[in-house]
Structure 1
């Protein structure tokens, strides 16, 4: 799973990293989390954990 905040404009990318990762990991999923800070796993751990738990439930369900 690739997570990123909704507004990631503080970072300048030459290419779209989400697109590149999806090409390399065909079963990956991108989660754009509204209201999340850049380091949501550190700054808002419960928000990150909720998103991760949802992803893991989906993977386990097949």
Structure 2
């Protein structure tokens, strides 16, 4: 299946989860935040987020402040 990852096309096996994708691309999966189709996906929800054809996935560094 084809998705976009941070604006770039990427091919993944059918049934891939967001957690699997993040594990492939990030040295430290806990250090990145994720969104699928402009919706934030919490770290503990990535296993349940099955990606679909055409999904747009974005990874980014979370920003904290005071």
TM-score band, normalised by shorter chain:
under 0.3
Larger radius of gyration: 1
Give TM-score, length-normalised by structure 2. Answer: 0.27
Give TM-score, length-normalised by structure 1. Answer: 0.27
Q: Which has the higher contact order (CA 8 A, sep 6+)?
A: 2
**Structure with the largest fraction of strand:** 2
